[in-house]
Copies of this chain bind each other. A is one copy, B any other.
Amino acid sequence: MKSSSLVSNNVTIFEVASQAGVSYGTVSRVLNQDQHVKAETRERVMKTIRDLGYVVNRQARSLAGGKTHIIGILVPDLGTGYIGEIIQGINTELQIASYDLMLYTTHRTPVLEADYVASLAQGMVDGLLLVLPRNPEDYIGILNSRHFPFVLIDHQGIGQNCPAVGATNWQGAYNATEYLIQLGHTRIGFITGWMDLGAAVDRLEGYKAALWAHHIPFTEDLVRQSTFHQLDGYNCAMDLLNQPVPPTAIFASNDVMAFGAMDAVREKGQRIPEDISIVGFDDIPQASIIHPALTTVRQPLRNMGNVATQMLLELLKNPDTPTKRIELPTGLVVRDSCQPPRG
């Protein structure tokens, strides 16, 4: 009986109804777990459904009911596994709630981003998960005014209070910097992410705060503005290392830039961690497979996906759930890329 749903094509509630000797309204009620059905009738209908291999037509259901049971997710790309992890988290929750996932990648094109959001919000999906959005200012206002449910992942929101889940970026950067300081480092290079992203700013601030707390003067000479990309990480690290008095440690604002920094260090003929310590941020899967394994600040990516999805589903169920921003804790993962400075 299992695969009969694949075999028989177009069973409708009408066929189920006539087979079970009830009206189609009753079948619909059973399908929607309406309480107003006699237990015995429900049983009979469910059996018929199984026998006939009936599967509800989602299009019809959403036309009639106004809900699609699809949620959309907008991501910048799928390159690094960073997004992949988040999606796994989202997926788990969605599966439980039996929602479907519509995936859109923007490749960081703001135009696309706004367009997608426009047409999605038009009824294609019930809610939206926006991962690492680049220019949400363009549309968040509109989504809000239309009361369209959405949750931001890894973005601070934009002044207005929107539902969002992020991580304690500041604290993570603070802890990582402090770890390096406690190892004895005082000249710690820092490579930022896109500074238009709140997370990148927070990480820089955490770094500064840790220096400050340990009475180490902050200097712009040790900071390089970058883009979260590996190659830029490489270039910035190179630049940092070419200074008259180079840093003894480099803290990159994400893991792939840390990988780039590692390349730079090696190209200068120096060793990690003996000559230079490296710290990353994110703890993407590759961080533990690279050699030496990267010490990094772990973001609970999967968990962020879980939580964001739960928030969105809650929002769908109960639209006036108060808006909240959740920050999941980050944690320092100590591996092999750091040690006290030489001498």
Q: Which residues of A contact B (CB under 8 A)?
A: 3, 5-7, 9, 55, 57-60, 62-63, 68, 70, 77-81, 83-85, 87-88, 91, 100-105, 114, 117-119, 121-124, 139, 142-143, 146, 230, 256, 259-260, 262-263, 266, 285-286, 289-291
- With known contacts A3-B114, A101-B104, A290-B291, A285–B80 Cβ distance under 8 A: yes
Instruction: List 26 A–B pairs whose Cβ atoms lie within 8 Å, in order of A's numbering.
Output: A3-B118, A5-B119, A6-B139, A6-B146, A9-B146, A55-B118, A57-B63, A58-B123, A59-B59, A59-B63, A59-B68, A59-B123, A78-B85, A78-B87, A78-B88, A79-B81, A79-B285, A81-B84, A83-B84, A87-B105, A100-B124, A101-B102, A101-B103, A102-B103, A103-B103, A286-B286
* Pairwise interchain contact A262-B285, C-beta atoms closer than 8 A: no
CA distance A260 to B286 in the complex (A): 12
Q: Is the CB of A117 within 8 A of B6?
A: yes
**The residue from B84, B146, B290 contacting A78, defined by CB atoms under 8 A apart:** B84
Given known pairs A78-B78, A79-B81, A81-B81, the reply for A105 and B121 (CB within 8 Å) is no
Complexed CA–CA distance, A64 and B5 (Å): 22
From A62, A117, A124, A289, name the one whose CB has the most chain B CB atoms within 10 angstroms.
Answer: A289
Complex Cα distance, B118 from A333, in Å, reads 42
Alpha-carbon separation in the docked complex, A122 to B103 (Å): 20
13 more CB-based (< 8 A) A-B contacts, given A55-B118, A79-B84? A6-B142, A7-B142, A55-B119, A63-B63, A77-B84, A79-B85, A79-B88, A88-B105, A101-B102, A101-B104, A103-B103, A289-B290, A290-B291
**Which one of B101, B118, B285 lies within 8 Å of A6 (CB-CB)?**
B118
Q: Could you tell me if B286 and A262 are in contact, using CB atoms closer than 8 angstroms?
A: no
User: Chain B's nearest CB lies how many Å from the CB of A107?
Assistant: 8
Q: Which of A80, A122, A124, A285 has the most CB of B within 10 A?
A: A122
Contact in complex: B105, A102 (CB < 8 Å): no
Measured between beta carbons, the chain B residues less than 8 angstroms from A77 are 84, 88
Residues of B within 8 A of A118 (CB): 3, 5-6, 55
Q: How far is the CA of A68 from the CA of B286 in the complex (A)?
A: 38
Chain B min CB distance to A77 (Å) = 7
Give the CA-CA distance A320 to B62 in the complex, in Å.
Answer: 31
B104 close to A102 (CB less than 8 A): no
- The answer to whether B81 and A122 have CB atoms under 8 Å apart is no
Residues of B within 8 A of A146 (CB): 6-7, 9
**Those 10 A-B pairs whose CB atoms lie nearest each other, nearest first:** A78-B84, A103-B103, A55-B122, A59-B63, A6-B142, A59-B62, A6-B118, A259-B289, A59-B59, A5-B118
| Shortest Cβ gap from A115 to chain B (Å) | 9
In the bound complex, residues from chain B placing their C-beta under 8 Å from that of A263 are 289, 291
CB contacts (< 8 Å) of A104 on chain B: these are 100-101
Q: Please, how many angstroms separate the alpha-carbon atoms of A101 and B78 in the complex?
A: 14
* Distance, CA A105 to CA B69, complexed state (A): 17
Roughly how many angstroms separate A88 CA and B142 CA in the complex, as a whole number? 29
CA distance A176 to B84 in the complex (A): 30
